[in-house]
Structures are given as C-alpha cells and as structure tokens.
Chain A
Amino acid sequence: MTNRPGVLASAVRVFDLSLGQMLWSRRSVFLAILVGAPMAMAFAVRMVAVTRGLPVINGAGLNGPTLFGILIWMLFVRFVVPVLGVFYGTSLIADEVDDKTITYLFTRPVPRSAVLLGKYLSYLACVVLLVIPSVVVVYFLIIPIGGNIGQSFPSLLEDLGMLIVGLAAYGALFAFVGASLKRPLIVGLVFAFGWEQTVLLIPGYLKRLSVAYYLQALVPHAMPQDSSISALLQVFQEFPPVWVSLVSLTGITVLGLWLAGKTVEKREYVLEQ
C-alpha cells in the first residue's frame, strides 16, 4: 500500500490539478477584464499627458508617482483586491460542488483540508498572475509622467508585496465564508463593500475587525482626498504600525484557512447537489 501523503504534498497535487482549470475559467476571463481596466485607464492618462501635458485635478497638476499612488489606493486596494478575494475565495469549494467534480477529490486518500489548501494555492497563483502584470504596466505607463522610474521602483515592490499580502488575507477569509455558507458570494460582497468600508469610518476599535484597516497601513502612498468619504477616512484614520499589520494579516490568513479547512472536513457538500 502507498503511504498516505501529507497535507502539504496532497495540497500541491490538488494545486497542479486545479490551477489550469482556475486560470482558464470564465471567472478568470471576466476578472482579467476587470484588472485590465486600470491598464486602459493608465494608457489614456499617458496619452493625455503626452499630448496636453500633466493631468490637472482640482486645479493642481499631478505628476506620475502621485497619480500612481491614487490608482493603487482607489482601484487596487479598495476595489480589485477585495473583488478578486470575494469572487475566487468564496468559490474555491463551491465551484467544485456546483460542477459536481468535488466527488473525485473527496474520494481520494487526502484530507479534505488539503483539497482546500491546494485550491487556495491555485487561487493565490491565479490572482497574482492577474494583478502583478496589471500593476507593473500601470507603473510603467504612469510614473514617467513627471516622475523617475528608478527612484520609484522600491515603492513598486512594496506595492506588489502589499497587494499579495492583501490577496492572501482576503482569499483565506472568503475561503472560510465559501466553505461555510450556501450563498457565500452575497455575504462576501456585503462584507467587502459594506462592513469593510463602514467600520473604517467609525471611530474606536471596530475597524480592527476588518482586513482593510491593516492593509491600508502597508500602502506606501499617501491616502488621496478623492471624495468626502476619503476626507472622513483621513479624519478618523489611524494606521497601525507595519509589523502589527503584517502579523495581523498573517493571522487572518492562517485563521481563515484553518477555519475553512475544519469546515470542509465536517460538511456534507453532496447534499447540495
């Protein structure tokens, strides 16, 4: 008899099996269009800058690094990262259940938590492959508008690291939501765009129960004052130290995955077929 493979070894096998499916799914095509939007926007801004000079917002001229910071805040941190986390994270197990392919994974000698971990690793690889090219293209299109690529490069690496940490935390959290609930997408969207946005506006400790609170502390750019909500956010904003944010986001990721794994081990998914 073959020895029972460990959780990590099994997860790697599930990762191999799932990555291709996830990369070429309709969801990935749709979300690739979503992450393509910042690139299109950056291209348009660059064209305007080339033909008409520096872009002007509220009467002030913006240079490339400032504009790049605004795009990282407004598009990636507040929108793309939570959206990718919700759409992929909640579907890690739900897709296999809906497609009725979960049977093939759950009738093999691997712990169910390894199946979840393998799917999560596929998610991480998939979203990193979607987000990093988008950020890098936006960077190279925007920074040269009155900025210096060499000077700003370290902050690009910080941005990429911060986005990956954010994707990991949101993915793990929504993997738990997806493993536990029947309609995880609705709950995930309410959490990402209701709870997360609201608690940041409330003074006190409640904001510590959000991913955004810790993630925002890692953004290497100043928060833009693009709306009245942003202005409010700046009034109430308190950023935790970077190490606290990193430890908290790692904790959210590990706890989310552990809870998701435990849920998957105990739940009877076939019932939903």
Chain B
Amino acid sequence: MSNGSVVAAEHLSKWYGQVIGLNDVTLSVPAGITGLLGPNGAGKSTFMKLITGQLKPSKGSITVLGEPIWENPSVYFRIGFCPEQDKFYERMTGREWVTALVGLNGVAEAAAAEMAARAIETVGLSDVADKKIAAYSKGMRQRIKLAQALAHDPELLILDEPLSGMDPLVRRKTIRLIKEWGRSGKSVIVSSHILHEIESMTSNILLINQGRILAEGNVHQIRDLIDEHPHTVFIRADHTRELAREFLADAQVLSLKFEDGGVVVQTGRPDVFYARLTELAASGELGAIHEVTSPDDNLQAVFQYLVKS
C-alpha cells in the first residue's frame, strides 16, 4: 500500500468521446471508511469503475492497495465490490450465486459454500438463501449483492450505493455492518448521493461534482449547508396513508404527496426525519416499510451553490 492509502490517483482523467467523466483527479484515500458523495452524473460511477478496474484511465494513473488495477486480476483477491446495478443471475438461489462467485476466487467448492453461508448469515439472509434471487425483495437483493462482495473477506470493500432501496431496519443493520468492517481494521469506500447515509458510517468524505473532487476529509460545513436545503424521500410501506398522517403531525415535514404506490416526503431536517422513520419501522405499529429511496436532486442545489461560491 502506498503511504498507507488504499487508493491513490495521480492526475486521473477519464473521458468518453467528448464527455468528461473524471477530470484531473489527484487524491489519496486513507485506510478506514471513506464516503464518496456526489449528485447524479457527478463522476461517482466513473470513479468507482476506475478503482474496480472496469475502466482504463484515459490519462493519469490509479493504484488500489498499492497495485495498478487495470488488467491486474490478482488485486481482486483483496477487493470486494458491490455494484450499484440491480442485476443478477435471477434463476439461481442466493446461496448458489454467492458460492459460484466465491468459487471464482480459486476456493474449493466446499470452502466456497462455507464462505458463502457465512456471508449470507452476516447480511441476515440465511432464511431465504435457498430461494431464487428472482423472488427476492429489493432490500434482499441489495444484501445478497453485499454478501458476494464480503464473502472472501477482502481488505477493501467498495460499495456503490449499497443502501439504495433498503427498508429502515435493514439500512440500520447494514450501516452497522459496514462500520464493524471498518473497525476490524479493513477499509471501505462507499458511494452515495445522500449525505446522511454517508455520515452515519464515516466523517471522512470525498465530495465529487462534475468530474472533480471538490473537497476531502471531515466536512462539517458541507453537512450544515446540506441541512439548509429541503430533502426529498420516497417511502413505500404497507400502510402508506397512516404513515403520511404520522409525518404530517411532524413539523419537520415541509410537503407530502402520494406517488407510484408510495409517499414522497419533503423534510427540512433529514436527520430527525430518518431517526423517526427508523423508530416507526422498528415499532411495527404502522406495518412494514418496504422501501426508502431519495432522489438525486437533493444534493444538486447544494453542489451548484458550492461550485458558485
């Protein structure tokens, strides 16, 4: 590892024809948990694909755990990657899928099955491990993706929007899992477009927009700035209307509308709102909460402000 950093980029650029995905980025990601925060189209995905060796830098260089990643498959022994896309071999069961992927690490079949079982238990899917992935809920699919990333016990976990679509309880468990992973001396790079997600895991943030790193480190002032802007959340639950009524009684909720079988809430205090939502999910008094997502535009206004200032 170079200078204790898990990822080091030197004048790293990536462009697709005329479009710049990442522009002259020089950075060093330290060991531990690091959050990559940026709105849609900021360059998060390009950065994630470069550090996972799926893309080749157009210019500059990148090393992961001290080694170049492009055309160097042996680095993947030390990396676990959970991609953003909700895509699977749908006909396989969760157990078959994770076992098969761990098997690609050169592990014998019995050992791969054991490692897969352990990872599946870690993400809390043991009871549905033998169901076909096609029958999984969005949250389960996110978790099985996480299981395949951590099954081979990598030094560095790279997670692209891992909490997207998870219900509040699973989200809380997953955040705990990621934090434990970091505490055990391993490293995590996690991307999100939601500051509160990132902040619940780490205070070490990389802020990215328009292909450039805007800020690195412990960025409290950014958090304050983001809090001033309304935050939109989409929730799908068993009893959406009752849930909406509960939110309306809360002064933190600025507006509320029903959409696509769920409710879209705009809040001025996202941290308070998420805490209340987790409480409601844990109590179960309003039935199950199946999905919580937040659109990308929450950050957009803040980033526009940051770039101008």
Are B87 and A100 in contact, with the CB atoms below 8 A? yes
Could you say which residues of chain A place their CB within 8 Å of the CB of B55?
Answer: 268, 270-271
Q: B47-90 vs A: 1/0 string, CB under 8 Å?
A: 00100111110000000000000010111111101010101110
B93 to nearest A CB, angstroms?
11
Are B91 and A24 in contact, with the CB atoms below 8 A? yes
Are A2 and B73 in contact, with the CB atoms below 8 A? no
Cβ of B305 < 8 Å from any Cβ of A? no
Are B52 and A107 in contact, with the CB atoms below 8 A? yes
B266 to nearest A CB, angstroms?
31
**A107-B54, A109-B77, A268-B56 known; A21-B91 Cβ under 8 A:** yes
Could you say which residues of chain B place their CB within 8 Å of the CB of A24?
Answer: 91
Could you say which residues of chain B place their CB within 8 Å of the CB of A271?
Answer: 16, 55
Bound CA–CA A99/B88 (angstroms): 8
Are A3 and B106 in contact, with the CB atoms below 8 A? yes
Bound CA–CA A21/B87 (angstroms): 14
Q: B3-46 vs A: 1/0 string, CB under 8 Å?
A: 00000000000001000000000000000000000000000000
Are A4 and B106 in contact, with the CB atoms below 8 A? yes
Q: Which of A202-259 contact B (CB under 8 A)?
A: none
Q: Which residue of B lies closest to A108 (CB)?
A: B104
Are B100 and A5 in contact, with the CB atoms below 8 A? no
Q: Which of B85-128 contact A (CB under 8 A)?
A: 85, 87-89, 91-92, 100-101, 103-107
Q: Which residue of B lies closest to A273 (CB)?
A: B85
Are B91 and A4 in contact, with the CB atoms below 8 A? no
Contact of A109 (CB < 8 Å), options: B16, B52, B74, B89 = B74
Contact of B105 (CB < 8 Å), options: A21, A106, A109 = A109
Q: Which of A147-196 contact B (CB under 8 A)?
A: none
Are B73 and A110 in contact, with the CB atoms below 8 A? yes
Q: Which of A1-27 contact B (CB under 8 A)?
A: 1-5, 9-10, 13-14, 16-17, 20-21, 24
Are A268 and B76 in contact, with the CB atoms below 8 A? no
Q: Which residue of A lies closest to B16 (CB)?
A: A271
Could you say which residues of chain B place their CB within 8 Å of the CB of A108?
Answer: 73, 76, 101, 104-105
Cβ of B148 < 8 Å from any Cβ of A? yes
B117 to nearest A CB, angstroms?
18
Bound CA–CA A108/B85 (angstroms): 17
Are B91 and A20 in contact, with the CB atoms below 8 A? yes
A33 to nearest B CB, angstroms?
20
Could you say which residues of chain B place their CB within 8 Å of the CB of A107?
Answer: 52-54, 76, 79, 81, 83
Interface residue range, chain B: 20 to 34
Bound CA–CA A99/B133 (angstroms): 15
Could you say which residues of chain A place their CB within 8 Å of the CB of B71?
Answer: 265-266
Could you say which residues of chain B place their CB within 8 Å of the CB of A9?
Answer: 106
Q: Which residue of A lies closest to B72 (CB)?
A: A109
Bound CA–CA A266/B92 (angstroms): 29
Could you say which residues of chain B place their CB within 8 Å of the CB of A99?
Answer: 87
Could you say which residues of chain A place their CB within 8 Å of the CB of B53?
Answer: 106-107
Are B104 and A103 in contact, with the CB atoms below 8 A? no
Bound CA–CA A268/B16 (angstroms): 11
Q: Which residue of B lies closest to A2 (CB)?
A: B106
Cβ of A111 < 8 Å from any Cβ of B? yes
Could you say which residues of chain B place their CB within 8 Å of the CB of A14?
Answer: 104
Q: B192-205 vs A: 1/0 string, CB under 8 Å?
A: 00000000000000
Contact of B103 (CB < 8 Å), options: A16, A101, A266, A273 = A16
Q: A102-142 vs B: 1/0 string, CB under 8 Å?
A: 01111111111000000000000000000000000000000
Are A104 and B54 in contact, with the CB atoms below 8 A? no
Are B100 and A17 in contact, with the CB atoms below 8 A? yes
Could you say which residues of chain A place their CB within 8 Å of the CB of B148?
Answer: 104
B305 to nearest A CB, angstroms?
31
Could you say which residues of chain A place their CB within 8 Å of the CB of B49?
Answer: 270
Q: Which residue of A lies closest to B55 (CB)?
A: A268
Bound CA–CA A143/B27 (angstroms): 73
B110 to nearest A CB, angstroms?
14
A-B pairs with lowest CB-CB distance, top 8:
A5-B106, A108-B104, A100-B87, A109-B76, A17-B100, A107-B81, A270-B54, A100-B85
The 25 sampled A-B contact pairs (Cβ below 8 Å) are: A1-B77, A2-B107, A5-B105, A5-B106, A9-B106, A10-B106, A16-B100, A17-B100, A21-B91, A21-B92, A99-B87, A101-B88, A103-B83, A106-B53, A107-B83, A108-B101, A109-B76, A109-B77, A109-B104, A109-B106, A268-B54, A268-B55, A270-B49, A270-B54, A270-B55
